Amino acid sequence: MKDYVILKNDAIKLRKKGLSYGEIKKRLLVSKSTLSLWLKDVQLTEEQKKKFYTKNIINLSKGPQSQKERRIREINEIINTSKKEISNRLSLESYKLFGTALYWAEGSKTGKFEITNSDPYLILFMVNWFDKVFDVKPNNLKAWLNIYPQQDDKEIKKFWSELTGIPLDNFGKSFIKPANKNYRKNNLYYGTIKVMVRKGMNMKHKTYGWLRAVLKDISQKTNLAQKEWKSLRDNSRPINI
């Protein structure tokens, strides 16, 4: 059982030494409301008041930063926990469908079997996906860069070649965005790369077959909605004069 007389005396002594309510609370395990009652008549020196004021200013200045750091820790914890929900070894079907979804989002919808992006993780995954799912090796892929004038075309090609295994000889002529007052100054470090599978049209159709299999449960509703709202697609495109 706590001896509140002793605790009160200890609290008064600590307060006179210049400790804050928070610091005293941690030492004596007494609520701030109780401390407020016990210490209301304890007078602080001007130096102690100045110290508390300075500390409060510092704490206020650190407030947003502390919240930011706390949020970063929370996010890292969420990510680390969710990582454990996924098996280290994906089944071939899961791996196949993950690449199919990425191609649906980032791949060419018309024309050749190719994907364009600036994210090294996404591009390397898809290069490996072409290999594992379709047995298309990196040395059979073609690539093109889309970069800014201030970037080094040769060095960026070397980066992507080393990352993906696509030979430098398989890189076509890069598209250099023309310099103008509106171009992005915070350019993408590695530019944007387009990776194409040679003679890959049948593979592309196969990929969309997998996609249709995944979407079959919603295809009827989607088709009916598009048919009902067909008028939205009948608007002619504006003509540039």
pLDDT at residue 210, as a whole number: 97
CB of 184 closer than 8 Å to CB of 157: no
pLDDT at residue 44, as a whole number: 84
pLDDT at residue 170, as a whole number: 98
Q: DSSP class of residue 112?
A: S
Percent of the chain surpassing pLDDT 90: 58
Q: How many CA atoms lie within 13 A of 228 on its CB side?
A: 6
pTM, whole model, 2 decimals?
A: 0.68
Of 6-15, 159-168, 186-195, 230-239, which gets the smallest average pLDDT?
230-239
Q: 151: Cβ–Cβ under 8 A, 6 or more apart, which residues?
A: 187, 191
Listing from the earlier edge strand, what are the strands of the sheet with 114-117? 114-117, 192-197, 141-147, 175-176
pLDDT at residue 173, as a whole number: 97
Judge whether residue 185 has pLDDT over 70: no
Q: What are the angstrom distances between the C-alpha of 217 and each of 30, 63, 97, 148, 211?
A: 61, 49, 16, 43, 12
C-alpha closest to that of 169 among 201, 141, 132, 136: 141
Please, what is the Cα angle at 141 between 138 and 143, to 5 degrees?
A: 115
Judge whether residue 241 has pLDDT over 60: no
Work out the pLDDT band at 1, boundaries 50, 70, 90. Answer: very low
First to last CA, the chain: 89
Find the helix packing angle between 201-228 and 92-106, rounded to 10°: 70
Chain-centroid distance, C-alpha 91: 25
Domain ranges (residues) in the chain = 4-82, 92-217
Find the helix packing angle between 21-28 and 4-16, rounded to 10°: 140
pLDDT at residue 5, as a whole number: 87
Q: DSSP class of residue 121?
A: H
Choose between 84 and 136: higher pLDDT.
136
Kindly report, residue by residue over 158-177, the tens digit of the pLDDT: 999 999 999 999 999 999 98
Work out the pLDDT band at 21, boundaries 50, 70, 90. Answer: confident
What's the CA gap between 203 and 131, in Å, rounded?
12
What's the CA gap between 124 and 207, in Å, rounded?
18
Judge whether residue 70 has pLDDT over 70: yes
Q: What's the whole-number average pLDDT of the chain?
A: 89
